[in-house]
Amino acid sequence: MSVRVATWNVNSIVPRLPRVLDWLDSTAPDVLCLQELKNTTEAFPAEEIAARGYEIAAYGLGRWNGVAILSKIGLDDVVRGLPGEPGFDGRAEARAIGATCGGIRIWSVYVPNGREPENPHYAYKLTWLEKLRVLVAEELARDRPFAVLGDFNVAPADEDVWDISVFADSTHVTEPERAALKKLRDEGLSDVFPRPLKYEHPFTYWDYRGGNFPNNRGMRIDLVYANDAFAKAVTDSYVDRNARKGKGPSDHAPIVVDLER
């Protein structure tokens, strides 16, 4: 059975909805993980998406963050939030949602940005990543295909940013962030590395400012981490740069992964 799984930080689902619907029609993923919804669970535009045959599990608490999983192959055992996850500034944030889709355990995650290394949000990010690691270890103890997908807000290596010197004193590339990501992989996950369709390196995010996208000044911070049962079934994976083009795009492009189970 062929299965197509994708992940996309849409940077606000309501203004991006027409683009998301067109993309669902053209790309036809069986499962789509979404991040940065910027609305509540109740306000998620479910009707238009459900009309295309998707079951929907959304988790949003307001203006910032928010995650969802859309599935045409079943949507069972939904969990909203990481067990024991921290909040920030006394408030919970909607940054993780899990579900089982056609026998594949999927988590859609939107890791905190961190802002600057001196900012309390950075410590929150590291704590959040540790809670994600604990969850991953628990999920991997079960014998089934598993993947955690989404916007990790960490570039795993220097080559995952267009110019490491530009980011030398910034979040996304610091050693503690990368160490937290490595601990996650060391639990038993591999990086499903997407092939680029045009450039040598598959960036997934480009800032809106300064012509960054047409000049390919980007970062690879959207990731697909999978266990062996998932990774060995992968037949293709790519960054859909076309979804970053045109009028009113997200600043992220989707990653598409095809499996043969």
9 is in an annotated binding site: yes
201 is in an annotated binding site: no
Amino acid, res. 217: R
207 is in an annotated binding site: no
**54, 59, 122, 151: the active-site residue:** 151
158 is in an annotated binding site: no
Phi, psi values for residue 164, rounded to 5°: -60, -30
Q: Tell me, yes or no, if 258 is annotated catalytic.
A: no
**122, 205, 240, 252: the active-site residue:** 252
Taking a C-beta distance cutoff of 8 angstroms, is the pair 68, 36 a contact? no
Q: Tell me, yes or no, if 172 is annotated catalytic.
A: no
**110, 122, 205, 225: the active-site residue:** 110
Q: Tell me, yes or no, if 121 is annotated catalytic.
A: no
151 is in an annotated binding site: yes
Half-sphere exposure of 46 (CA within 13 A, CB side): 15
252 is in an annotated binding site: yes
Amino acid, res. 258: D
Sign, Cα dihedral of 125, 109, 189, 166 = negative
Going by the annotation, the residues of the binding site for Mg(2+) are 9, 36, 151, 153, 251-252
Catalytic residue positions, numbered:
110, 151, 252
